[in-house]
Amino acid sequence: MRRHAAADALRRITGSLSFHSFEGSSSVAMKQSASIPYRIDQGRLRVLLVTSRTRRRWILPKGKVAPRMLPGRSAEREAFEEAGVLGRLAKDPIGS
């Protein structure tokens, strides 16, 4: 599987990513970024998931975008902090 085919497969899997923080009965939009760490292993797409600390659910590394930080750089930071992985950013983001 080539890199472009992997990106297309990830887009189909994830659809549009949107995150919100809920405070009381109204929702407040919070700018977050997430990474989808993946690799191609013997022609197969492998996606890395991590477990959340509190509920122990499988999640993608994500977090709030720090002031003056670009969302892509924030996604890289979250991937390293939460999963211990380093990688390259895709040319185009997935989701909005």
What does the CA dihedral 73, 9, 91, 75 come to, rounded to 10 degrees? 0
What pTM was estimated for this model as a whole? 0.66
pLDDT at 19: 41
Backbone angles phi, psi at 3, to 5 degrees: -60, -40
Residue 30 has pLDDT above 80, yes or no: no
Tokens at 58, concatenated: 């499988």
Q: Are 40 and 46 in contact (CB under 8 A)?
A: yes
Which is more confidently placed, 3 or 61?
A: 61
pLDDT at 95: 73
Which among 72, 87, 8 is positioned nearest to 34, based on CA atoms? 72
Q: Are 66 and 74 in contact (CB under 8 A)?
A: yes
